[in-house]
Amino acid sequence: MTYPLVSVALGGALGATFRYLVGLAMMRDGFPLAVLTVNVIGSFVMGLGTVLLARMGLPHWQPFLLTGVLGGFTTFSAFSLETLTLVERGQVGMALLYVALSVCLSLLALATGLFIARGLT
């Protein structure tokens, strides 16, 4: 149990560092290009990594690379994988519900957190 936790933690630290560096390199006013970039790259690498690690018989690398590094780089990659997994299982309605709930509830939760925090100051 300890090894996967350490792997995820180390991978997450690396992924978050990469995300920060991409943000610095692509710092712009206006459109959040850096966030879009890490989300797209992370989703692409999640797709590659999921299949290649399985084909190469290296599932023990998943906690470090997929959950840790990519999770730290962008949680959107995990969201993308879960959505397409539902589609591949033929659960298109469930996938659409998952997307709608994830986006809407996350935006609502963020707005609520902002509203509460701003009211405290």
57-95 pLDDT, tens digit per residue, is 999 999 999 999 999 998 788 899 899 999 999 999 999
Flag whether 4 is in a domain: no
Flag whether 5 is in a domain: no
Do you know the residue count of the chain?
A: 121
Flag whether 57 is in a domain: yes
Work out the mean pLDDT of the chain and round it to a whole number.
Answer: 91
Flag whether 35 is in a domain: yes
Q: What CA–CA distance (Å, rounded) separates 90 from 16? A: 33
Q: Is the distance from CB of 68 to CB of 84 less than 8 angstroms?
A: no
Flag whether 75 is in a domain: yes
* Torsion sign (Cα): 85, 88, 94, 98: positive
| Through-space distance between the first and last CA atoms of the chain, rounded to whole angstroms | 42
- Whether 36 shows a pLDDT value over 90: the answer reads no
Q: Total domain count for the chain? A: 1
Question: Structural domain of residue 17, as residue ranges?
Answer: 10-120
Share of the chain above pLDDT 90, in %: 68
15 is in an annotated binding site: no
Question: What is the reported pLDDT for 1?
Answer: 67
Flag whether 97 is in a domain: yes
49 is in an annotated binding site: no
The amino acid at 75: T
Range 19-38 average pLDDT: 86
Q: Is the distance from CB of 71 to CB of 15 less than 8 angstroms?
A: yes
Q: How confident is the model at residue 49 (pLDDT cuts 50, 70, 90)?
A: very high
Flag whether 65 is in a domain: yes
List Cα–Cα distances, 17 to 2, 24, 99, 120, in angstroms.
23, 11, 27, 31
Q: Is the pTM of this model over 0.75?
A: yes
Question: What is the reported pLDDT for 113?
Answer: 86
Flag whether 24 is in a domain: yes
